Structure 1
Amino acid sequence: MEVRAEEVAAAVGELAEVLAERGEALDLAYRLVGHCARLLSASAVGLLVEDARGDLRLLAASSGEARVVELFQLQNDEGPCLDCYRTGSPTAAVDAATLQRTWPRFSVGAASQGIVAVHAVPVQVGGRTIGALNLFRDHEGPFSSVETDVAHAMASFVAVGIGQLEASAQGERLREQLQEALDSRVVLEQAKGVLAERHRIHPDEAFAQLRARARTERRRLREVASEVVAPLGRARGA
């Protein structure tokens, strides 16, 4: 796949804008995985980060396939992304045979979603690995050197964004803010689903609407998403 410099520049510009505004970690994460899926030859992208207990959890995913693969990996405590996080080094498998040989349980879940190759890049803050950016493929073969460089650059944006949290919140407070972002993901996914069904639009467009509203009203994504989901909760309780 050819990586277009102008498209990378546009993505970098948007992410830099979020960082300059000290935007939410959740917003940055969703934009980042979306850009990776569009810019690189990855069929799905997921981002895992530590929660308040130091356990890895899914913060953002570009598709349902990515969510399933990431969750399968965490449930089985096995996979390239976990190895990447634990070693602090990039981890890759360029074909289904390598996946099956190295991570047999993970390969089953990956195959069920059509994933046959993966490249994981560590997310590091202050010399410590706090997560992994994971690029999944539905076709075999390695990523090009240019794609690998872009993936590392994107992981660096996540690190900078989380580093900003660290600059304004020390120790346990930083973990609390990351935990809040992780908890907000569930509500955000629900809100995306509600808007997508209501307006017959793609979930990406639903997310764009939520993000635009939050920005216009100078509110947090979770607050806006919670308002969208709230009627469902009242309906169930009725």
Structure 2
Amino acid sequence: MPVRAGAVAAAVDDVAGLLAAHDDPLELADGLVRHCRDLLDAAHAGLLVQDVQGHLQLLASTGDTAEALELFQLETRQGPCVDCHRSGTPVQCPDAEQLRQRWPGLWPVAERRGVAAVHAQPLVVAGRTIGVLGLFRDREGPLEPVELAVARAMASLGAVGITQLERVAAGQRVQEQLQQALDSRVVLEQAKGVLAERHRVSPEEAFAQLRAAARSQRRRLHDVARDVVQGSPAQPR
């Protein structure tokens, strides 16, 4: 599916709006991976960022498949996203055979999840790689030049956005604020589980409820998720 200029403009506008209106790395990361998945015709997308020790951690994903593939790479220290972070350069694995040969441990997980191609784009700020955008496709084939350009632009926007958000908190280092966002993800996953069980919905639908509640209440996503986990009366429905 060709990349449409209007869709790219709308995605950039939305991510820029998140950056301008919220001091919330989690919501920015979620918006980034969702837009990249849709713009670049990927089945799934994930975002890895460095913690205070310089280790990659999962900050956002579009669903269970992206989460499983990203976490497997982190646990085994192998895969296109890990290699992308190490080199600071994009990594393309356009077909299943290359995926099997280059990362034999990752291949069975990808195959079970229906992933046939993986593309990783580094998030770079001032020459430093702070994370990786992972795109997982259910069909083989390389990214076209225009898709590569869009992936690079979105990754750059995400890198600058995350860095800017972390600098909002006066007196705190970028890495410290980012660590808080990574820690917040644990609470977010707990809240998603609570809502999914309570309302008999999927984790993605539960996350949509949390995000909608955060926006309508003009609160941080972490704070709304914490209220759900703690059983606060004011909870998303």
Q: Which TM-score applies when normalising by structure 2? A: 0.89
Query: What letter is aligned with 2:63?
Result: S
- Confirm whether residue 55 of structure 1 aligns to residue 55 of structure 2: yes
CA drift at 1:201: 4.4
What secondary structure does 1:135 align onto? strand
Tell me which residue corresponds to 2:235: none
Q: Which residue of 2 aligns with 1:206?
A: 206
Deviation per residue, 1:111-169 (Å, 9 max, x gap) = 22221211100001121001100001121111222222221121112111122145446
Distance (whole Å) between structure 1 residues aligned to residue 43 and residue 120 of structure 2: 14
Residue by residue over 1:145-200, the C-alpha shift from the partner in whole angstroms, topping out at 9 and shown as x without a partner, is 22222211211121111221454469972211111111111221232333344334
Alignment coverage as a number of residue pairs? 232
2:31 pairs with 1:31: yes
The whole-number CA distance in structure 2 between the counterparts of 1:140 and 1:189 is 31
**Alignment-mate amino acid for residue 32 of structure 2:** L
- Equivalent position of 2:44 in the other structure: 44
Residue 72 of structure 2: SS of its match in structure 1?
helix
Matched with 1:158 is 158
Distance of 1:139 and 1:195 partners within structure 2? 32
Contact preservation (8 Å) 2:19, 2:165: no
SS in 2 for 1:49: strand
1:12 equivalent in alignment to 2:41 = no
The TM-score normalised by the length of structure 1 is 0.89
Mapped to 1, the partners of 2:189 and 2:116 lie a distance apart of 26
Match in the other structure for 1:227 = 227
Q: Provide the rounded CA distance (Å) in 2 between the counterparts of 1:66 and 1:21.
A: 27
- Give the aligned partner of residue 92 of structure 1: 92
1:146 is matched with which residue? 146
> What is the distance in 1 between the residues matched to 2:170 and 2:78?
31
Provide closer, same or farther for how the CA distance between residues 202 and 88 of structure 1 changes in structure 2, counting only shifts above 3 A: same
Q: Which residue of 2 aligns with 1:2?
A: 2
Once the two structures are TM-superposed, the CA of residue 8 in structure 1 deviates from its matched residue by 1.9
CA distance in 1, matches of 2:140, 2:182: 31
Residue in 2 aligned with 1:236? none
Shift of 1:35: 1.2
Q: Which moved more, 1:162-171 or 1:188-197?
A: 162-171
Partner-residue secondary structure (3-state), 2:149: helix
How far apart, in 2, do the equivalents of 1:93 and 1:208 lie? 31
The two structures, once aligned, show a CA RMSD in angstroms of 2.1
- Aligned-pair identity (%): 57
Letter in 2 for 1:59: L
Q: Which residue of 1 aligns with 2:110?
A: 110
Amino acid of the structure 1 residue aligned with 2:225:
A
Q: CA deviation at 1:217?
A: 3.0
Moved more, 36-45 or 163-172: 163-172
Paired residue type of 1:18: L
Structure 1 unaligned segments of length 5 or more: list them. Answer: 233-238
Question: What is the rounded CA distance, in whole Å, between the counterparts of 1:188 and 1:80 in structure 2?
Answer: 26
Instruction: Output the amino acid matched with 1:126.
Output: A
Report the Cα offset of residue 51 of structure 1: 0.8
Q: Provide the residue aligned with 2:175 in structure 1.
A: 175
The alignment partner of 1:105 has SS state of coil
Q: How many angstroms apart in 2 are the aligned matches of 1:195 and 1:172? A: 33
Where in structure 2 are the equivalents of 1:61-100 lying within 5 Å?
61-100=61-100
CA distance in 2 between partners of 1:91 and 1:123 (Å): 12
Q: Aligned letter for 1:133?
A: L
